[in-house]
């Protein structure tokens, strides 16, 4: 695998040597941070779950998620692009982490700048086929109860 590189922005990561450079100048990182970067770089822009990172960076060991957060923080500091504000290591809420801007990588799904939710149409699956769920749900918008069954009060 020596000689294979992953490029993102001004950074190059040599997968065989596990060496990171910025504009040709070596960037110093600890071995675990390099292990995390290796897993993310080989994913070519795809999301890697926290569980997968823990399993691949600390194989056969029981470690707390905080260990991963420390390494991710070190990577973010090393990959910081101060002038542009560009962040190459992003958290995908509820899913994991991904390295963005990887040359030849997967563009992945667009990431919203804040949490979002999709509202899908309801299908009446109750035994009472005459019950209008959407009318019942909309009439209870101020209620703290769920809108699916709308009868939990």
Same domain, 71 and 123: no
E strand or H helix that includes residue 11: strand 11-14
In which domain, by residue range, is 75 found? 5-99
Same domain, 93 and 22: yes
Q: What is the mean pLDDT of the chain?
A: 78
Share of the chain above pLDDT 90, in %: 42
Long-range contacts of 28-32 (CB under 8 A, 24+ apart): 28/78, 29/74, 29/75, 29/78, 30/71, 30/74, 32/57, 32/67, 32/71
pLDDT at 134: 54
Confidence (pTM): 0.64
Tokens of 116: 């979002």
CA distance 84 to 26: 21
Q: 102: pLDDT confidence band, cut at 50, 70 and 90?
A: confident
pLDDT at 140: 46
Same domain, 57 and 19: yes
pLDDT at 100: 87
User: Residue 22: inside a domain, yes or no?
Assistant: yes
Is the pLDDT at 115 greater than 90? The verdict is no
| Tally of domains in the chain | 2
Is the pLDDT at 49 greater than 50? The verdict is yes
Same domain, 82 and 130: no
Q: Where are the alpha helices (DSSP H) in the chain?
A: 31-42, 50-57, 65-78, 133-139
- Summarised one tens digit per residue, pLDDT across range 51-98 is 999 999 999 998 898 999 999 999 999 988 666 667 889 999 988 999
User: Residue 107: inside a domain, yes or no?
Assistant: no
């Amino acid at each position: 695998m020596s000689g294979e590189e992953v490029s993102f922005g001004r950074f190059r990561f040599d997968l065989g040597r596990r060496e990171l450079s910025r504009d040709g100048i070596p960037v110093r990182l600890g071995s675990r941070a390099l292990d995390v970067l290796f897993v993310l770089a080989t994913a070519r822009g795809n999301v890697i779950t926290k569980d997968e990172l823990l399993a691949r960076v600390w194989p056969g060991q029981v470690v707390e998620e905080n260990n991963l957060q420390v390494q991710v923080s070190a990577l973010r500091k090393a990959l910081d692009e101060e002038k542009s504000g560009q962040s190459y290591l992003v958290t995908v809420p509820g899913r994991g982490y991904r390295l963005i801007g990887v040359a030849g990588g997967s563009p992945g799904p667009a990431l919203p700048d804040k949490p979002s939710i999709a509202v899908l149409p309801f299908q009446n699956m109750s035994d009472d086929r005459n019950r209008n769920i959407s009318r019942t749900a909309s009439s209870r918008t101020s209620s703290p109860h769920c809108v699916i069954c709308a009868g939990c009060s």
